[in-house]
Structure 1
Amino acid sequence: MVGIIGTGVIAEAHLKAYLALPDRCQVVALCDIFPEKAQGLKEKYGLDAAEVYGDYDEMLKRPDISLVSVCTPPFTHLPASTACMRAGKHVLVEKPMALSLAECDEMIAVQKETNTYLGVVCQNRFTRENQILKALIDSKTAGRVLFGQVESFWYRGHSYYDLWWRGTWEKEGGGCTINHGVHQIDLLNWIMGPPETVTAVLANAAHDNAETEDLSAAILTYKSGAVVTLAVNLVTHGQYQRLAFQCEKAGISSPYQVRSSRSTDTGFPVDDPETVAELEKVRESIPKLERESHEAQIERVISFMEKGEIHSEDSADGRVALEVITAIYQSGFTKSTVRLPLGKDSLLYDKNGINENGTLAAEIRRNLSDVKNKGSVLAEKESTSAGYIRLSYQR
């Protein structure tokens, strides 16, 4: 039996996935602080047997519920998930896992204490395009990765941030990097593992009603010597997402594209159809997926439960995604390169560090904009403000 906490847009993706598995699960509870939203979802999908709640603590008293999807805003993920686990329920929480690494660590500690399952939504791992990309790189047919490009390009209008909790460091924990780029960052970690260093720039180009960034660009380096550029924004017309890796023998992308070159005696390239043919054989050997996206991930979670498995690495993967995001923010705030892993002494380890430095960065941006608009000199203000952030980093 399944319960869903939060009945906004993303809850429908979970609900449709559960409804696609009628012989293995049943949604019996919908919870939202606005019960009329939950009632509307119940009626839309004809969930006659589901009960509506306005308080998840009441819902969690039900002994028949064994799995809960947490589909609420990021600032509620910690309390909602830990309440579920302490009530003996398994949990699948939407991305990002939490607002800070400290919150992730608390969630994982409760998971271990209660011996429950804690999964973080990473639905893009469960698409054929991305599974092909990972399989081709894992096969080593193209050789090792030399360079990667990750592009998470979206379009969101100014009014997107009119919703009360969006665009604030306190409630969202950041802007496009944590809430949109998290998908591609998770895929990058899945394929490459965590980076060694992160150097990043943050900006707000078009959403002055948000404290947070609507654009970030980062360079990630890896122990293997590979370098990856990672760009996220909310200002791309014709939004799209892409991962591309240039390997020793070929370039491979998702959406699927393969191109291979070999060197002539003069060093200039010519096409290498033989390597492309080898990669095509690998691609053709990958079985087609019966299910994709949320449906595939939820089917996997239910299979774990049926077998009595916990799979703690699922929560660990969610934490690693947030660790890379945190490093991007720390680098952007301090204007310096950040090394991973991040410890408890990190500037942004907990929510207070994120709020303080994020709010300060937003204030600096507003002040600089005001000064620039008045035609005054920027250098002294920028130096003083950036210096304050650097001092915070060193404390």
Structure 2
Amino acid sequence: MIRVAIVGTGGISAAHLAAYLSFPERCQIVALCDIYPEKAAILKEQHKLSCDIFSDSADIASRDDIDLVSICTPPYTHADLSVQFLNAGKHVLVEKPMSSSLAECDRMIAAAEKAKKILSVVGQNRFRDPIMKLKQVLDSGKMGKVVHAQVESYWWRGHVYYDLWWRGTWEKEGGGCTLNHAVHHIDMLQWMMGMPTKVQAIMSNTSHDNAEVEDLSIAVLSYPSGALAQITSSVVHHGEEQQLIFQGEKARISAPWKVYASVPKENGFPIKNVELENEIEQLYNELPSVPYSGHQGQIDNVLSAIENDTLTVLVDGYEGKKTLELITAIYMAASTGQQVELPLQPDSLFYTREGIMANATHFYEKTNSVTGFAKNDITLGGKYE
């Protein structure tokens, strides 16, 4: 039986809790931790848990009966907490984004390697049927070389969203919609296409004058193959209609799923390649479904690695760092107005948290700060089916 602690009992912790509770024969939640222990107590009561409650992460680290810790706290705490738990011999599953800076990622990866423990970064959309199947269709090569990718990470958040005490600042949230919302789509893009070599970007704050950070950014990525990708990250898009589109030499595929293939007429104008469309459609439909979806799928992946005594998970620290590196490059390009080349080096102005705070564009000063909302129900966009 794998014994689990959840640190941070805000909104996203519910997804972790539900996933762990779906595997009662494999794991047990033995501790909840929050700097506001009354929040943890409410969660414990809601789910009728038999567990201890702590307000200090050191109490979790010192427990010998905890194997795995889920970190569901604000981004600026991720590195210190992960290192603390890894040094104490615990496996770690940390929410997105991995941390506030690439330097912190390096610390986390080094701690995991030294402790010989799992460090997994939440990328739950990789564990959804439409995304897993899209990846496999891309890898099949049936659509040819990818020449263009389009990522629309469209979310909408009201003005009051940034009143929460840790949101809306470079110091504590680490960024705006590019880091904390589009991270899902950027993770999926780099998983499917790899890392670009050059990034150009612009960003703005159009609707949230209670936040230092951006609420809209647009980036263009250049790949060694000559392919281009564009990413729009937003919390100002009503309807939250999100998609990933890949244009190949022979066909176009996307999530939500759609396939379209063209061949040229004698004059170069397109006509449908029905045969290839049907072939790709058949491949997609015949691919197996994931056994568990979303956070449940990722937690199954981590539990299985622990049970099989392996450190191999789908989204490890190196994968988490790649995603953050791409986001950091977008911030650097947008803040400096210059094209950024990857990989970023440790002497980059944006490699450390302090460097980001000093050099990233500050749009407004945060004026309001609340410790929590009376109701904190989370609504989710991004239906890929």
**Same fold flag (TM > 0.5):** yes
Structure 1 residue matching 2:284: 3-state secondary structure? helix
Counterpart residue number, 1:388: none
Question: Deviations along 1:239-264, whole A, 9 cap, x unmatched?
Answer: 12210011011110001011111110
State how 1:50-129 maps to structure 2 within 5 Å.
50-129=51-130
Structure 2 residue matching 1:155: 3-state secondary structure? coil
Distance in 1, matches of 2:177 and 2:205, equals: 10
**1:27 Cα deviation after fit:** 0.5
**1:285 Cα deviation after fit:** 2.4
Structure 2 residue matching 1:42: 3-state secondary structure? helix
**1:151 Cα deviation after fit:** 0.6
Question: Deviations along 1:48-104, whole A, 9 cap, x unmatched?
Answer: x21111111112222111000000000110111111111100000000000000000
State how 1:306-345 maps to structure 2 within 5 Å.
306-311=307-312, 314-345=316-347
Structure 2 residue matching 1:239: 3-state secondary structure? coil
Counterpart residue number, 1:256: 257
User: Runs of 5+ in structure 2 lacking a partner?
Assistant: 366-385
Moved beyond 6 Å, runs of 4+: none
**1:113 Cα deviation after fit:** 1.3
Counterpart residue number, 1:218: 219
Identity %: 50
Q: Highest relative contact order (Cα 8 Å, sep 6+), 1 or 2?
A: 2
AA paired with 1:69? Answer: S
Distance in 2, matches of 1:214 and 1:185, equals: 16
**Larger Rg, first or second structure (1 or 2):** 1
AA paired with 2:13? Answer: A
AA paired with 1:15? Answer: L
**1:311 Cα deviation after fit:** 2.4
Counterpart residue number, 1:291: 292
Counterpart residue number, 2:362: 362
Counterpart residue number, 1:238: 239
Does 2:150 correspond to 1:152?
Answer: no
Distance in 1, matches of 2:132 and 2:266, equals: 36
AA paired with 1:80? Answer: L
| Equivalenced residues, count | 362
User: Runs of 5+ in structure 1 lacking a partner?
Assistant: 367-395
Distance in 2, matches of 1:346 and 1:184, equals: 25
Counterpart residue number, 2:377: none
Query: If the length of structure 2 is used for normalisation, what is the TM-score?
Result: 0.92
Distance in 2, matches of 1:148 and 1:107, equals: 31
Counterpart residue number, 1:29: 31
Query: If the length of structure 1 is used for normalisation, what is the TM-score?
Result: 0.90
**1:284 Cα deviation after fit:** 2.2
AA paired with 1:125? Answer: R
**1:21 Cα deviation after fit:** 0.5
Distance in 2, matches of 1:12 and 1:262, equals: 48
Structure 2 residue matching 1:238: 3-state secondary structure? coil
Counterpart residue number, 2:14: 12
Distance in 1, matches of 2:352 and 2:60, equals: 29
Structure 1 residue matching 2:240: 3-state secondary structure? strand
**1:300 Cα deviation after fit:** 0.6
Distance in 2, matches of 1:138 and 1:290, equals: 21
Distance in 1, matches of 2:348 and 2:62, equals: 38
Task: Give the helix-richer structure, 1 or 2.
Answer: 1
Distance in 1, matches of 2:165 and 2:63, equals: 31
Counterpart residue number, 2:272: 271
Distance in 2, matches of 1:170 and 1:56, equals: 21
Structure 1 residue matching 2:25: 3-state secondary structure? coil
Distance in 1, matches of 2:111 and 2:237, equals: 40
Distance in 1, matches of 2:114 and 2:133, equals: 37
**1:337 Cα deviation after fit:** 0.6
State how 1:153-168 maps to structure 2 within 5 Å.
153-168=154-169
Distance in 2, matches of 1:59 and 1:248, equals: 52
Counterpart residue number, 2:355: 353
Structure 2 residue matching 1:219: 3-state secondary structure? strand
AA paired with 1:282? Answer: L
Structure 2 residue matching 1:165: 3-state secondary structure? coil
Shifted more, 19-28 versus 305-314: the winner is: 305-314
